[in-house]
Chains A and B, each alone.
Chain A
Amino acid sequence: MFASKRLGKELTKIHQTLPPGISLVSASDFKEWQMDIKVLDANPLYLDQTYRLRFRFSNNYPIEAPEVTFITLSSPSRTVPTHPHIYSNGIICLDLLGTQGWSPVQNVESVCMSIQSMLTGNTKNERPPGNEEFVARNTQRPRDIRFVYEDATV
């Protein structure tokens, strides 16, 4: 009940104002939202690209982190950005989205901004080490995966 109340408040705020480069695509219920994000500066890796983020909320939101992944679409064309912390199946390795790093003070807008800045600061055109193996065998929900954060600089 309080998840939907809080999400309703976030939605009203999102309809009023959003930071540049972030837009709401769909929020038909309080289970799954989709957001589009763009990298604003002239980073050649992501120039003129728009990426689609899918948020899935549990009933415990915001106490529990939402599940945030990049998704691929054919029309409009949306791909998963290349980044050393983003697996090619869209799963994002970001401490903010894990159980340890999440804080109930975060919201959809702040998560979008974090991912946006994570892309902005990146210079390496590569996937995480062990990407193929992970994508092939992972069946876990993103929230339950225990990532080891090896490199705090990226």
Chain B
Amino acid sequence: MATPPPSSPRRLSLLQADAALQRPQVNPVDLRSLEYVDPYDHNLMCAICHSPFVCPVRLECDHVFCQRCVNDAMSYQDRDSRVYIVSCPSCRRKIENRAIAPVPKILSHILDDLRVKCPLEFLGCPEVTARGDVQDHVDKYCAYAEVECSSESCLLTVLRKDLVKGGCLHRVVNCEDCERSFMEKDLEIHRLRHCEVVESSCPDCNVPVLLRDIKVHIERCPNAILLCNAAEYGCAFAARRETLDEHLNTCPLAKLVPFLRLQNERLEAHEAALKLLRHKNSILETSFSTIQETLSPSANLIDAPSSSATASDTGPFDSTAHHLLCLHESLREEVSRVSAAVSEVDAKASMMVMNESLRIKEDLSHANAAIGSMRMQLHWLMSARLQNQQRVAMVRAQSSGEGLTSSADAGSSSGSVELPVRRLSDSTRQDTKL
């Protein structure tokens, strides 16, 4: 039996599938805790955790959830009901077969394209990347990810960005000023940000200041030597913060600063526009030259034989291309004129055919009528002759003077005599009709 019976609980197989989906990694990124940069479509949201799906799976009823979410929900249902009947969290339909179906690839792709912040953002990593790439980023590139110390004997970790400093950064050293001990990798941050003893002096007023406060001090120091606001436009004046205000009131350049700044901005905008136009122009030029190249060889082909015979023809034209275009134009006109003539001829011919056929039809009907009348006359003639013959035969029989039987014959033949007479009158009537 390769497959287990469908009724058996699949919890274990679910978990195994879960584990197989994740690649073996030192620090697998928990996709569920990522922070998303852009708002995402609510259809991509798992109804249970309200985040975009992570390892989505499809239940029998076609509802999709994160694998972890649906596992959690089902194990909770199991614990409560103690019988292996679970239902879909969305539609409450009973789930007979807990084997999960995969979701369409396109959904995974859409989810992998969502942009997320690096999970090590709290350490200072500014990276924003697609969700599908975040594991790679942390594993290989993130400067704030922890990697093994470069010293082979050391088992501790350092941030990737500190690796370039070389050597083991886990030796314990003392801060020169406060005498507290730190690992070397933490010393720099300690001295810059936290140490309460290390001193530095203000470059301008020579007052000793804590190194961690020096930035704040310089911004406020009354003795700091500052440059005139118009330094970038040529004013070389520099003075202490207190006396600078007087200079600013008198300095003509300082008063022009807003105007000059505006001019600079406009200049930059124009330069950008010019650059764009130049680019466009170069594109147009290249395309024009390609057009010319495609045109000129064919123009040469036509010109070559004709140039010897009609060299004067090309005279008035600026270039071979122009000449070719003119030629093309005149040919086009010629063709249209010819086609107009053809259609005219066609119309004439069809008109003529129609007239002729009408006349022929009329003639035909005349001929038909004539034939009909001739047939009638023929009939009349034929019947007249038949009548004559019969009459002659009858006269012969009477003259021989035979018995009763022959007189009966005569009676019957005299009945047949009347018929041709009637038909005769008929035919004459038809004749007058014509």
Contacts and interface: CB of A to CB of B under 8 A. Distances in A.
User: Do these two chains interact?
Assistant: yes
Contacts of A5: 32-33, 49, 51
A88 to B, nearest CB: 28
Contact of B51 (A9, A60, A99): A9
B73 interface: yes
B49 A2 contact: yes
A32 interface: no
Contacts of A107: 50
Given A104-B69, A105-B89, A10 B50 contact: yes
Interface residues of A, number: 16
B313 to A, nearest CB: 79
Nearest to A100: B80
A99 B48 contact: no
A79 to B, nearest CB: 33
Instruction: Name the prevailing secondary structure of the A interface residues.
Output: loop
Interface in B47-61: 47-51
Interface string A58-83: 00101110000000000000000000
B352 to A, nearest CB: 85
A104 B89 contact: yes
A104 B48 contact: yes
Contacts, number: 38
| Chain B CB within 10 A, most for which of A1, A2, A63, A105 | A105
Interface residues of B, number: 15
A113 to B, nearest CB: 16
B317 interface: no
A94 B27 CA distance: 44
B73 A104 contact: yes
Interface in B69-94: 69, 72-73, 76, 80, 89-90, 92
Given A2-B49, A6-B49, A10-B50, A64 B76 contact: yes
B76 A103 contact: no
A105 B48 contact: yes
B89 A99 contact: no
B89 A6 contact: no
Contacts of A62: 48-49
Contacts of B80: 99-100
Contacts of A1: 33
Contacts of B48: 62-63, 104-105
Contact of A2 (B32, B47, B73, B92): B32
B72 A63 contact: yes
Nearest to B42: A13
Interface in A99-122: 99-100, 103-105, 107
Given A1-B33, A5-B33, 11 more contacts: A5-B51, A6-B49, A60-B76, A62-B48, A62-B49, A63-B48, A99-B80, A100-B80, A104-B47, A104-B72, A105-B48
28 contacts: A1-B33, A2-B32, A2-B49, A5-B32, A5-B33, A6-B50, A9-B50, A10-B50, A60-B76, A62-B48, A62-B49, A63-B48, A63-B73, A63-B76, A99-B80, A100-B80, A103-B73, A103-B90, A103-B92, A104-B47, A104-B48, A104-B69, A104-B72, A104-B73, A105-B47, A105-B48, A105-B89, A105-B90
Interface of A: 1-2, 5-6, 9-10, 60, 62-64, 99-100, 103-105, 107
Interface of B: 32-33, 47-51, 69, 72-73, 76, 80, 89-90, 92
Those 7 A-B pairs whose CB atoms lie nearest each other, nearest first: A105-B47, A104-B48, A9-B50, A103-B89, A105-B89, A63-B76, A104-B73
